[in-house]
Amino acid sequence: MALQTMISKTWKQLQGLRGSPLTRGRKAAEAGKLTKAAGIWQEGARAGDGECQFALAEALAKGIGVLRDPGGAFRWYLAAAESGLALAQTRVASLYARGIGHAGEGEGRAGGDAPFFLAQDDKAARHWARLAAEQGNVEAQVLLGWLLSRDGGPGVPREPEDAARWYGRAADAGNATGMVGLANLISAGEVPGREPAEAYPLYRRAADQDNATAAYFTGTHLLNGIGTDADPVEARRWLSKASEAGIIAAMRLLGLLYLRGTVGRADPVQAETWIRRAAVKGDADSMVLLAELHQQGRTTVPNRSEAVVWYTAAAEAGNARAALALGQIHLRGDGVIPDAARGLRYLEQAAAELPEAEFQLGMCFLEGMGVPEDHDRARQHIMKAAGQRHADATYNLGVMHYHGKGVPLDKEAAFRCYAAAAELGSASAQFRLAYAMTLGVEIPEDPERAITLFTLSAQQGHVVSQVNLARMLLKHRPDAEAELADVRRRMETAAAQEFPAVLAVLGEMAWRLDQDRETAMALVARAEALGDPHAAYVREMVTAAAGPLPAA
């Protein structure tokens, strides 16, 4: 120990005569003598000079004047950190936060020269970041805020309130990243006494410093009117800045704004451009959006094959929506050669996250789509989806109970499923329950409740519900002008598709509501030509009231 003290004292005397080793090393580096610079810093580092230790660590980390050596760099960073140098403490904290290399990497390599490995260690990272942060190092304050805001593993829990304090100190020093970190915690409701709307001013201050992430959040807050008045035009301006700076989420959102015409007229070309840019950068959600645009024919040059390419890329990245779409595409042969086995594999992948995929798997086995019928496997998948409150799965479980497919025949259980599915929003279940209520055979008759359920189903585009709703209103509420006008408007769209039952009931409405015999009979004639059994009743009703039409 005495020898080390003596060496250190002698070194300081010498450096006073020749200039500090840090300065001499810098001068050598500026003159392009990088190897000499590293050698000078190494002498100073071995003599215990913290700044030289840090300079040497930087050279070793970057391969400046010496061979790159991550392990040696870390050891000198640590030595400088132990000497109290805040910058070195920050660097050590950063290295512990992310770790270096992988355990076991390079094992068995000739000569035993395995790459350096440093295990990620949030506890150690927080320790070193705190030491530097307490010295006023703003970079360390931001790093400590980030470390405290995340779960560091066993024994290192999140500490959002402490994170907010350190982010706040960095923000007070004018650091944009600190402002964003604090704003994120406030927005998430994790800072006591601060409302989520209070995040906006912080995002805006950071955005004014050209922080791209802050520009994105400034845009989203302006778009949704959070903490400020909604301003879609200004929102798009900030989202454009964030997109140009490479923020992928901003690119995707900007594309959606152009697609939906949120600001001015829709611009499909700009929409596709920004969504494609985000997809090319690896954003799986954007890949799915781009695939959907191709599939729907909404791109500049629609291409179903390209849709499959983007869906596949997204599915390989783990996107469940893409896997679900691919399952359906391969089962149907939509732009590809039908491949049931591949379709089922994609559905199974998606089912890990999406009840819809679980339901689709069940329907494949129930109806033998691409696979042999297997009611037992159908029941397993459909019950699992129904257990996740999937409306159509719940309805189809009721159908299985009603017919005894894969489950015991149990009509009471079937109607319980129909009722649950109707509450979840299944148009088919709402229709089935309402229809039973109009008959009053399997469940008690209830015309008023039936009208409510028919209405809910009709509003979802269920054409048969629209027909039954019109008939129920004509019978039970003939003076309900607004309701009759609404269902009539919905059916007129279906009439263009030559749906015979719709034509017949529209004919009845033309006569009973408008006394328009000519239109009524024309609609009835079209319905009869398409084989609708109700059309004859309407014809008789009109003829009995007004007599036959005169001969041409």
Whether pLDDT at 546 is above 80: no
Between CA 179 and CA 333 the distance in angstroms is 51
Q: What is the pLDDT of residues 70-94, one digit of tens each?
A: 999 999 999 999 999 999 999 999 9
Whether pLDDT at 345 is above 50: yes
Q: What is the pLDDT of residues 521-545, one digit of tens each?
A: 999 999 999 999 999 999 999 998 7
pLDDT at 544: 87
Cβ 25 vs Cβ 37: under 8 Å = yes
Whether pLDDT at 52 is above 80: yes
pLDDT at 335: 84
Instruction: Show the tokens assigned to 237.
Output: 């301006």
- Burial class from Cβ neighbours inside 10 Å (0-12, 13-18, 19+) for residue 151 reads exposed
pLDDT at 104: 62
Whether pLDDT at 107 is above 50: no
Whether pLDDT at 286 is above 90: yes
pLDDT at 14: 44
Between CA 239 and CA 211 the distance in angstroms is 12
- Burial class from Cβ neighbours inside 10 Å (0-12, 13-18, 19+) for residue 31 reads exposed
- Report percent pLDDT > 90 for the chain: 89
The whole-chain average pLDDT of the chain stands at 92
Whether pLDDT at 54 is above 80: yes
pLDDT at 545: 75
Whether pLDDT at 112 is above 80: no
pLDDT at 102: 77
Residue 196 DSSP one-character state: G
pLDDT at 23: 94
Q: What is the pLDDT of residues 491-531, one digit of tens each?
A: 998 766 779 999 999 999 999 999 999 999 999 999 999 99
> Cα-flanking dihedrals φ and ψ of residue 300, to 5°?
-60, -45
SS3 397: helix
Residues contacting residue 55 through CB under 8 Å, at least 6 positions apart:
22, 25, 26, 41, 44, 45
Cβ 313 vs Cβ 286: under 8 Å = no
Instruction: List Cβ<8 Å contacts ≥24 apart for 334-338.
Output: 334/304, 335/304, 335/305, 335/307, 335/308, 336/308, 338/370
Whether pLDDT at 5 is above 60: no
Residues contacting residue 377 through CB under 8 Å, at least 6 positions apart:
362, 365
Mean pLDDT, range 272-288, rounded to an integer: 98
Cβ 191 vs Cβ 220: under 8 Å = no
Cβ 371 vs Cβ 347: under 8 Å = no
Q: What is the pLDDT of residues 240-259, one digit of tens each?
A: 999 999 999 999 999 999 99
pLDDT band at 105 (very low <50, low <70, confident <90, very high): low
Between CA 24 and CA 291 the distance in angstroms is 60
pLDDT at 161: 96
pLDDT at 523: 94
Q: What is the pLDDT of residues 140-159, one digit of tens each?
A: 999 999 999 999 999 999 99
DSSP character string of 96-133: HHH-BS-TTTTTT-GGG-PPP-B---HHHHHHHHHHHH
pLDDT band at 371 (very low <50, low <70, confident <90, very high): confident
Stretch among 101-115, 275-289, 500-514 having the lowest mean pLDDT: 101-115
pLDDT band at 115 (very low <50, low <70, confident <90, very high): confident
Q: What is the pLDDT of residues 170-223, one digit of tens each?
A: 999 999 999 999 999 999 999 999 999 999 999 999 999 999 999 999 999 999
Cβ 331 vs Cβ 343: under 8 Å = yes
